[in-house]
A = this chain, B = another copy of it.
Amino acid sequence: MNNFILKIKHIRDSRWFSNLTTSIIIFYASVLGFETLDTVAQPLGDFLHVLDSIVTVYFVIELIIKMAAEDKFLNFFKSGWNIFDFIIVMITLMPLENSSFAAIARLLRIFRVLRLFTARPELKAIIDMLIKAIPSIVDIVILLFIIFYIYAIMGSFIFADMPSGLWDNFLVAMLTLFRVFTFEDWTDVMYETMEVYPWSWTYFVSFIIIAAFVFFNLFIAVIIGEMQKMQDEKMKDEIHEDSKKIDILLKEVRELRKIVDEKKE
């Protein structure tokens, strides 16, 4: 039995197993993409149905292999990535195909593509990096949100009667400001309000400058923060090694002096 687990572990960690999973996902993703082209949808109908079942079965087998490779069954759920895999496979196992949720079920199949993250270790690493980067921007996102909030409330107060309806309420104003933030036809929004309030350009120009200034500094803060981490790891290793050597040197020289001093007496 022990031997059997070792074999399964070997399969799980082998490159061909992860490559096989990757290939199946990519092939499946391509078929899903082609299906949306009107001209090929009809003939693919049956083929896709069969492929769907095969992929589902493969995913279940893969999941079982990964579970069986663990020494204890519950260890499998200790990794966030395993839980992620498990949930995606479970969702696509639900028998919704013929229910009233059929359309949603078809849509959910797309998320199988997310399993590429677990199949390719390099993508896993990038996602882990992105997740690690979140705390260093969370406060700047709050700051950006406060700026959006104040401008949105002000906008929905002052510009409430605009015929375009871009300032009807707080939520719509937030969306309009997000649009202004991406510079998307922001002058159209401004010229409309300037017809009623000629000084409203101060509202838009100040928002763009403040939001961009914050965003700009967010960028710099994140870059510098990441670099500090990097330097803390790299540099300290090297310099501290030198520091230790110098400490040893100092100790040696001092002992030497002691000996010489003793001889002198």
Residues of chain A having any CB pair with chain B under 8 Å: 29, 32-38, 103, 106-107, 110-111, 113-114, 116-117, 120, 122-123, 125-127, 129-130, 133, 139-140, 142-143, 146, 149-150, 152-154, 156-158, 160, 168-171, 173, 175, 178-179, 182-187, 201, 205, 208, 213-214, 216-217, 219-224, 226-228, 230-231, 234-236, 238-239, 241-243, 245-250, 252-257, 259-261, 263-264
User: Once the chains bind, are A228 and B230 in contact (CB under 8 Å)?
Assistant: yes
Q: How far is the CA of A189 from the CA of B208 in the complex (A)?
A: 20
Q: Are B185 and A150 in contact (CB under 8 A)?
A: no
Cβ-closest chain B residue relative to A38: B169
CB neighbours (8 Å) of A256 from chain B are 253, 256-257, 260
Q: A113 is contacted by which of B150, B170, B219, B260 (Cβ under 8 Å)? A: B150
A224 lies within 8 A of B230 (CB): yes
Which residues on B sit within 8 Å (CB–CB) of A228? Answer: 230, 234
Q: A110-B154, A169-B37, A249-B249 are in contact. Are A130 and B260 (CB under 8 A)?
A: no
Residues B153 and A175 in contact, CB atoms below 8 Å apart: no
Q: A146-B114, A201-B175, A253-B256 are in contact. Are A219 and B221 (CB under 8 A)?
A: no
Chain B nearest CB, measured from A122 CB (Å): 4
User: Known contacts A149-B33, A230-B228, A231-B234: does B247 contact A246 (CB below 8 Å)?
Assistant: no
In this complex, what residue of B is CB-closest to A229? B224
4 more CB-based (< 8 A) A-B contacts, given A33-B171, A36-B169, A220-B223: A125-B139, A183-B183, A245-B246, A253-B256
Compute how far the CA of A259 lies from the CA of B171 in the bound complex, rounded to whole angstroms. 83
Bound complex: CA A250 to CA B247 (Å): 10
Contact B248 A250 (CB under 8 A): yes
With A130-B214, A242-B246 known as contacts, the answer to whether A227 contacts B224 (CB < 8 A) is: yes
Report how far A234 CA is from B120 CA in the complex, Å: 33
The answer to whether B170 and A34 have CB atoms under 8 Å apart is yes
Bound: A76/B221 CA distance, A? 31
Q: List 11 A-B contacts (CB under 8 A).
A: A32-B153, A36-B157, A110-B153, A116-B142, A122-B139, A126-B139, A127-B143, A175-B205, A231-B234, A235-B235, A259-B264
B142/A123 in contact, CB under 8 A:
yes
Q: How far is the CA of A221 from the CA of B130 in the complex (A)?
A: 10
| Residues in B whose Cβ lies below 8 Å from that of A157 | 36, 103, 106-107
